[in-house]
Amino acid sequence: MSETKSGYIGIIGRPNVGKSTLMNHIVGQKIAITSNKPQTTRNIIQTVVTKGDAQMVFLDTPGIHQSQNKLGDIMVKNAKSVVNEADVVMMIVEPTDYIGAGEKAIIAMLKTLTIPVILVINKVDTIRKEEILKFMDAYRREMQFAKIVPVSALKGKNIDELVDILISYLPKGPFFFDKDTVTDQTEKTICSEIIREKTLRFMRDEIPHGVAVSVDKMEFKKGLCDISATIVCERESHKGMIIGKGGSMLKKIGTASREDMEKMLDIKVNLKLWVKVRNNWRDDEYLLKDLGFSKPE
């Protein structure tokens, strides 16, 4: 019997570089929500990929950014805590030879680690092939990475090669989870994230970061799952926009959410959505805890 390998792989980077899209592609199904707006991921999302004799446990983190409220503080602390738990770290960046202050701050933190750090240059489908080497060289001048891997999470380019490289750096040891395990997220949590994703996708820029979702009821009956959920926003004006004229926007969010839920749960879903205003909830520690946002231990 061959020896198994297993380990935790931290995914870290600035907002909107494609961390969740990359993880979803490696896993082969949607676990983390994605959107074209930064700071989509708010908590650490743990997913499991078992390939042959190797098991990778991915820790997808919120993008590291300059926080402006208590929610932002929690997001950044969660992201930074991952590097202390991981056996391997992937730093995800966009393809450019301009390395900004945010990337340099992350690199400075990663330089203190004794574990392998793999740089993943994502979104290479958006640039000319001859530019890739220039961008790789720019990052080599900043830090000696274990490997630099150009990929396109959206197109699936070089993902298999990246997975093989990650496995090569895993320590030997037993599996942490059953082979069939995909995530530690509950169905309730994933449903709330699906609703938040659709809200992010359909709403205008001034609303998304003031939105959270709480699944208040999830009840399975014969051939049906009844779900009641609340979208929490910060202002009365936002509530009106989320509901829309004659309830049109809320219906749009609900229809798209229900379709994703039915695919995930493999059962018909009856979804009821409500919208409530909680002023400045992102700075209210009690509400943050109630909505499932917790600081790392």
CATH number, residue 234: 3.30.300.20
Domain annotation covers residue 296: no
Domain boundary among 168, 196, 212: 168
Same domain, 109 and 195: no
Contact at 8 Å (CB) between 67 and 82? no
Domain annotation covers residue 36: yes
CA 205 centroid distance within chain? 19
Predicted confidence at residue 278, as pLDDT, reads 80
Predicted confidence at residue 58, as pLDDT, reads 86
245-292 tens-digit pLDDT: 999 999 999 999 999 888 877 789 999 999 988 876 566 565 555 555
Report which DSSP code applies to 74: H
In 133-199 the beta strands, taken as DSSP E runs, fall at 147-150
Same domain, 138 and 28: yes
Same domain, 20 and 131: yes
Domain annotation covers residue 180: no
Same domain, 138 and 32: yes
Domain boundary among 168, 196, 231: 168
Please tell me the distance from the alpha carbon of residue 173 to that of residue 177, in angstroms, as a whole number.
Answer: 12
Predicted confidence at residue 40, as pLDDT, reads 41
Query: How many CA within 13 A on the CB side of residue 274?
Result: 11
Three-state SS at 157? strand
Q: Which helix (H) or strand (E) holds 95?
A: none
In the chain the beta strands, taken as DSSP E runs, fall at 5-13, 45-51, 54-60, 88-93, 117-121, 147-150, 212-221, 224-233, 268-277
* Structural domain count of the chain: 2
Domain annotation covers residue 297: no
Q: Angle, to 10 degrees, between the axis of helix 248-265 and the axis of helix 236-243?
A: 70
Same domain, 156 and 199: no
Same domain, 51 and 125: yes
Please tell me the distance from the alpha carbon of residue 197 to that of residue 222, in angstroms, as a whole number.
Answer: 28
Contact at 8 Å (CB) between 13 and 94? no
Please name which of 125, 181, 111, 119 lies closest in space to residue 146, comparing C-alpha atoms.
119
Same domain, 162 and 195: no
Same domain, 191 and 161: no
Predicted confidence at residue 87, as pLDDT, reads 92
Same domain, 274 and 191: yes
**Any idea which residue has 């701050």 for tokens?**
105
Domain boundary among 141, 168, 195: 168
Predicted confidence at residue 57, as pLDDT, reads 87
Same domain, 12 and 147: yes
Amino acid at 195: I
Contact at 8 Å (CB) between 26 and 102? no
Predicted confidence at residue 211, as pLDDT, reads 78
**Any idea which residue has 């219906």 for tokens?**
251
Contact at 8 Å (CB) between 260 and 31? no
Domain annotation covers residue 176: no
Domain annotation covers residue 255: yes
Report which DSSP code applies to 4: P
Domain annotation covers residue 178: no
Q: Is the pTM of this model over 0.85?
A: no
Domain annotation covers residue 295: no
**Any idea which residue has 């995914």 for tokens?**
11
Mean pLDDT by 10 residues, the chain (297 residues): 84 81 76 44 67 88 50 50 80 91 85 91 92 94 96 91 95 86 75 84 65 85 89 84 92 93 85 86 58 50
CA dihedral 31, 36, 37, 43 (to 10 degrees): 10
Buried b (16+ CB within 10 A) or exposed e, 245-275: eeeebbeebbebbbebbeebbeeebebebeb
45-62 tens-digit pLDDT: 678 888 999 999 888 765
Same domain, 74 and 131: yes
Same domain, 76 and 29: yes
Please name which of 189, 266, 192 lies closest in space to residue 223, comparing C-alpha atoms.
266
CA dihedral 101, 105, 111, 112 (to 10 degrees): 160
Question: Residue 120: which CATH number?
Answer: 3.40.50.300
Please tell me the distance from the alpha carbon of residue 70 to that of residue 54, in angstroms, as a whole number.
Answer: 38
The parent domain of residue 196 ranges over 187-290
Please name which of 97, 155, 89 lies closest in space to residue 126, comparing C-alpha atoms.
155
